Amino acid sequence: MDKIKSPNRRIQMVIIACVAVGGFFLLKGFFQKQPAREIPPRPVETAVAFTKDAPVYLDSFGSLYSLKDVDIKSQVAGQIKEINFTEGAEVKKGDLLFTIDPAPFQAELDKARAALNQGLADLKLKRVTFERNKVLLEKQLIAQQDFDKYSADLASAEAQVRLDAANVDLAKINLDYCYIRSPVDGLSGKHQVDAGNLIKANDGPTLVNIKTINELYIDFTITETDLDKVRQAMSEGKLIAEIYTDEAPEKTYSGVLSLLDNSVDNTTGTFLLRAIVSNKERQLWAGQFVKVRLILGIEKNAVQVPYDAVQLGLNGVYLFVVDQDNKAELRLVKTGNRQQANIIIEQGVKAGEKVVTSGQMGLSQGVSVIDIAQLKTLEKKQENK
């Protein structure tokens, strides 16, 4: 029986050996390193760095104020008889705003004039008496003591006339104060006291506010770290402040810097500046909140790239430059002021170099790239074939 089974055992052993050898070669082929597949170039959009003169500026926020902001009050006590302007309307210097009942003040003027006329008559009599007695004194017909009395009476009469004349002037002034006029050209606000009310003089209520509008102040602040830049720029000439609003950012207004405050605010680390801006179109309003751009100068031939090329990473601001082999090169850069759709590159990129403006996601050092514009050109050529 053993002799009969031995050939079968040999066959089984041969089969097992074949399976083992086959498995070995299969495993060897599985674990053998496969050749790496070539990664296709990443499609990106690019632009070329260029040079152009660009303004150097500081951005801030500010508020508008009138050059002249006048609270109108009465300088005499009395009853308001008339309101002679329309609320919110423009008024000119000298325009009548309010009328205070002038009757009492006209009576005071008439009384002062009457006293002046009486004083003038008395002065005339005293002067005639003095002149007559002067002649008598020269002839030694009266005593010196009597003449001194006539001289003193004349001096007293002259002083009284001067006092009466001053009272007339004061009465005229008070009567004129009954007609309250605008001291400036400007825009009137709401009147605060209605006709018929009695008001006090000087410390009474504000009747109306008048604000000038042809020119406005713009007050804004800059951090103290920029103080030296501003002072240096001011020493070289007048500085321009451009302002615009969120509602109309495309419309800018230019003003001239007129004030650099004499101290830094210790609580905020900022200092105040003031510019005067023209408002002839009446588009700006006192109290309005605006954005300010203070122009410090012009940087000649500044290197610029599209703003979209610049990225912010853990190591700072960077962008990708495409080299001659169409590979991405990561560059850390130092940026300057933004110039609308572009930004100044102070360090890290030279004019003429190609930078990536779109497609930076997942891009890294040394990765091959292809410009989307070139890719579209190749696809169009293939379609034409």
**pLDDT tens figures, 134-193:** 888 888 888 899 889 999 999 999 999 999 999 999 999 999 999 999 999 999 999 999
Q: What is the pLDDT of residues 26-68, one digit of tens each?
A: 555 544 555 555 678 899 999 999 999 999 999 999 999 999 9
CATH number of the domain at 350, please.
2.40.420.20
Q: Provide the token pair at 12.
A: 């089984």
CATH number of the domain at 99, please.
2.40.50.100
Number of C-beta neighbours around residue 280 at 10 A: 8
Fill in the amino acid letter for 375: L
Per-residue pLDDT for 5 more than 60? no
C-alpha torsion 143→147→148→152, nearest 10? 160
Q: Are both 189 and 81 inside the same structural domain?
A: yes
Say what the pLDDT of residue 37 is: 59
Q: Are both 168 and 239 inside the same structural domain?
A: no
Q: Which domain holds residue 96?
A: 75-210
How much is the pTM?
Answer: 0.71
Residues 6+ positions from 270 with CB-CB distance below 8 Å: 221, 222, 223, 224, 264
Say what the pLDDT of residue 269 is: 93
Q: Are both 92 and 178 inside the same structural domain?
A: yes
% residues pLDDT > 90 (the chain): 76
Domain edge (last residue) among 261, 282, 300: 300
Q: Are both 170 and 96 inside the same structural domain?
A: yes
Mean pLDDT of the chain: 89
Q: Provide the token pair at 220.
A: 């804004």
Say how many domains are in the chain. Answer: 4
Q: What is the pLDDT of residues 310-320, one digit of tens each?
A: 999 999 999 99
Q: Provide the token pair at 120.
A: 């003038």
Q: Are both 289 and 327 inside the same structural domain?
A: no
Q: What is the pLDDT of residues 265-291, one digit of tens each?
A: 999 999 999 999 999 888 999 999 999
Say what the pLDDT of residue 85 is: 95
Domain edge (last residue) among 300, 315, 341: 300
Region 100-117: mean pLDDT is: 97
Instruction: Identify the burial level of 353 via C-beta atoms within 10 angstroms of its C-beta, where 0-12 means exposed, 13-18 middle and 19 or more buried.
Output: buried
14-28, 227-241, 310-324 — which is least confidently predicted? Answer: 14-28
Q: Are both 145 and 252 inside the same structural domain?
A: no
Q: Strand, helix or coil at 317?
A: strand
Domain edge (last residue) among 163, 192, 210: 210
Q: Are both 206 and 79 inside the same structural domain?
A: yes
On whether the CB atoms of residues 241 and 295 are closer than 8 A, the answer is yes
